[in-house]
């Protein structure tokens, strides 16, 4: 029976071997030909140092014999042959070193791009719920930092391990004839270094994982201080010193802990090096005494010195390689954990087609839903019908559950109980791409893509490869053509300030571009989430005039706080605490005197007060 500690060590070795195998698989899939070339170069470069040491011994002994023979030509020929062979070996080693550097660089570029693409694909496929989890962002942070270098570092360490092992075996074979104990002494002299490498690599990995949140906080402080979205407010409220000091404190603590760990590692490394030096010194004194007694030649002494010195160096490198493999395998677990994330929102095994033309519409049946990690229920026994071809508005206070309805319709989440249906078919029976293809969603915060004005609209439906005429027609329908007309290069103007010659737009102008994307995307379902939140009253009135043409022939759901928008709907549902508490046409709800009518009166009264104040001020002027 093996002990629990031995079983644990065996388990760790198996996990490390699995990580190594998987990392090699990733490298092979990214650059198979270069990996083969890299492996061949490793073997050749491993043999050349042994050959050079052996040829050095032959050359020295040959030169000694030539001198003793009085410099005769036959003896000199042999010396010249060994010198030429040694020179050819050294030149070959240098040439292969240059070739190996190019191969590793090309391999690194391919592998890094491949792994970053895998991280991006995993992030894109992840459920929306992952983005609302701090644990996901910790995984992402570690994956981003490890994806670009850890597999390559592991491959490099593994290659060096193989190369150093081959060379070390050759060196051991060269010194073994001088005594059985010499290879043993060579190995024993580097054992303390192995203990140091393994122990401190483990400690560094534990520290790195423990400080993930602190490093993310430091990055957040950096973003706040350098990104344009924060620039105005942190200057207005004079928050710069606060965030700079926060960043400095975090980095100071992280730096102090890292340097303390490194200091302890360096002290242990010095002790291990002194031990190795004592062993090497003892071996060299023993060899020197044998040469002085005439038992060995000068060539033997040179060979022993070179072989033992290089052997120690190789052993240190080899043990360093083992430690690096172990450390990189620990860090690779972070990458693999991220790549192994699997979305829970996914396609069914046998998807059915989305109905081309709705006859019943959208139905939410007894929906109960709570966000992951939340303590309160977002929707509770929620029922809703959006009739085919109709326009339905959801109104209510913040936190009532309106946006949750939108997210369930897009299948960003699945309900805990109940179901969302299109013409009686549960959304979970559709392929995600087909379902979302059938939806046009105008979000409350439209994404400001840093691309041309034309491309920003084309993002509404890349599958159609829309022609210029269609893009401009969508822009006219949304009123975005007026924005394009004011830009220096019209539809070809770069938007945003991240890249050269970019133009920044207002929130309302970005919303018009988002509306143009909605016009471009010809889908049967239209969902609007606070579509006029960034618009002034004039822009909102213009939008409402265009809205009917956008909604024509579509089934539309509007989430809004503005009753001027809700008044354009066929049916209005008032939400409160995850349920519908009032429903009807806008006119009927106003007559009923319920929540909708009361809120309408508040908004109208507030508007009248603002208008009266403006008139009074103008009169005073």
Does position 610 have pLDDT exceeding 50, yes or no? Answer: no
In the predicted structure, residue 26 carries a pLDDT above the cut 70: yes
Q: What sign has the CA pseudo-torsion 434, 436, 437, 438?
A: positive
- The whole-number average pLDDT for the span 371-384 is 86
Q: Which residue has the higher pLDDT, 425 or 173?
A: 425
Distance between CA atoms of residues 309 and 148, nearest Å? 35
| CA dihedral angle for residue 384, residue 390, residue 396, residue 400, rounded to 10 degrees | 30
Phi-psi region of 496 (alpha: psi -120 to 50; beta: other; left: phi over 0): left
Q: How many CB atoms lie within 10 A of CB 138?
A: 17
Secondary structure percentages of the chain, helix, strand, coil, to 5:
70, 10, 20
pTM: 0.67
Summarize pLDDT for 103-141 with one digit per residue, the tens. Answer: 877 877 787 788 778 877 888 887 777 777 777 777 677
Is pLDDT above 70 for 149?
no
d(CA 574, CA 583): 6
Structure tokens at 380: 């509770």
- Crossing angle of the two packed helices 150-175 and 73-125, in degrees rounded to 10: 150
CA 443 to chain centre: 25
**Average model confidence (pLDDT) across the chain:** 77
**pLDDT score for 619:** 40
Contact 590/600 with Cβ under 8 angstroms? Answer: yes
Residue 620 or 67, more confident: 67
Q: Could you tell me if 123 and 335 are in contact, meaning their C-beta atoms sit under 8 angstroms apart?
A: no
Output the pLDDT for position 429: 93
In our burial notation (b when 16+ CB lie closer than 10 A, e otherwise), range 259-286 reads: eeeeeebeebbeebbebbeebbeebeee
Six-digit token string for 481: 């053509």
Measured CA to CA, the distance from residue 528 to residue 405 in angstroms comes to 12
Backbone torsion region of residue 361, taken as left when φ is above 0, otherwise alpha when ψ lies between -120 and 50, otherwise beta = left
Instruction: Quickly tell me which residue has 């050095």 as its tokens.
Output: 56
DSSP sequence for 501-529: TEE---HHHHHHHHHHHHHHS--SEEEEE
Instruction: Give, for 114, the enclosing helix (H) or strand (E).
Output: helix 73-125
Per DSSP, what are the bridge partners of residue 419?
365
């Amino acid at each position: 029976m093996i002990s629990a500690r031995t079983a644990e060590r065996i388990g760790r070795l198996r996990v490390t071997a699995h990580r190594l195998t998987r990392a090699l698989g990733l490298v092979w899939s990214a650059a198979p030909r270069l990996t083969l070339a890299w492996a061949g170069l490793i073997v050749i470069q491993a043999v050349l140092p042994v050959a050079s040491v052996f040829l050095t011994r032959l050359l020295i002994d040959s030169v000694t014999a030539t001198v003793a023979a009085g410099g005769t030509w036959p003896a000199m020929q042999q010396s010249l042959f060994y010198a030429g062979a040694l020179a050819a070996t050294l030149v070959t080693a240098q040439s292969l070193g240059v070739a190996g550097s190019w191969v590793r660089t090309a391999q690194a570029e391919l592998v890094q791009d491949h792994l970053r693409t895998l991280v991006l694909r995993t992030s894109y496929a992840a459920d929306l719920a992952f983005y609302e989890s701090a644990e996901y962002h910790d995984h992402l942070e570690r994956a981003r930092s490890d994806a670009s270098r850890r597999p390559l570092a592991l491959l490099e360490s593994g290659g060096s391990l193989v190369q150093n092992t081959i060379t070390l075996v050759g060196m051991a074979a060269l010194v073994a004839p001088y005594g059985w104990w010499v290879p043993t002494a060579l190995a024993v002299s580097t054992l303390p270094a192995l203990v140091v490498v393994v122990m401190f690599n483990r400690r560094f990995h534990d520290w790195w994982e423990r400080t993930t949140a602190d490093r993310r906080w430091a990055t957040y402080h950096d973003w706040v201080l350098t990104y344009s979205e924060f620039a105005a407010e942190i200057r207005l409220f004079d928050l710069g010193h606060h965030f700079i000091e926060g960043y400095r404190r975090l980095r100071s603590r992280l730096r102090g802990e890292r340097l303390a760990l490194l200091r302890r590692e360096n002290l242990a490394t010095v002790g291990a090096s002194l031990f190795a030096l004592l062993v090497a010194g003892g071996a060299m004194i023993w060899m020197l005494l044998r040469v002085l007694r005439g038992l060995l030649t000068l060539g033997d002494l040179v060979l022993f010195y070179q072989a033992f010195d290089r052997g120690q160096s190789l052993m240190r490198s080899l043990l360093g390689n083992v430690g690096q493999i172990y450390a990189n395998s620990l860090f690779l677990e972070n990458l693999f954990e991220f790549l192994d994330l699997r979305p829970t929102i996914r396609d069914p095994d046998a998807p059915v087609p989305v109905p081309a033309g709705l006859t019943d519409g959208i139905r939410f049946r007894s929906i109960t839903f709570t966000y992951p990690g939340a303590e309160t229920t977002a929707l509770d026994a929620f029922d809703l019908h959006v009739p085919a071809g109709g326009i339905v508005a959801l109104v209510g206070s913040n936190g009532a559950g309106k946006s949750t309805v939108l997210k369930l319709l897009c299948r960003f989440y699945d309900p805990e109980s109940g179901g969302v249906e299109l013409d009686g078919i549960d959304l979970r029976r559709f392929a995600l791409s087909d379902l979302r293809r059938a939806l046009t969603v105008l979000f409350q915060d439209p994404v400001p893509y840093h691309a041309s004005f034309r491309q920003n609209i084309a993002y509404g439906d890349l599958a159609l490869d829309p022609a210029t005429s269609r893009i401009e027609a969508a822009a006219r329908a949304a009123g975005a053509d007026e924005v394009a007309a004011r830009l220096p290069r019209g539809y070809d103007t770069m938007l945003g300030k991240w890249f050269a010659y970019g133009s920044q737009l207002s929130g309302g102008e970005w919303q018009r571009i988002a509306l143009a994307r909605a016009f471009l995307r010809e889908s049967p379902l239209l969902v609007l989430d606070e579509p006029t939140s960034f618009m002034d009253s004039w822009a909102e009135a213009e939008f409402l005039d265009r809205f009917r043409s956008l909604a024509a022939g579509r089934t539309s759901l509007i989430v809004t706080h503005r009753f001027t928008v809700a008044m354009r709907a066929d049916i209005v549902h008032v939400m409160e605490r995850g349920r519908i508490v009032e429903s009807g046409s806008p006119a009927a709800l106003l007559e009923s005197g319920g929540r909708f009518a009361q809120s309408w009166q508040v908004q109208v009264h507030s508007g009248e007060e603002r208008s009266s104040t403006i008139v009074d001020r103008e009169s005073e002027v």
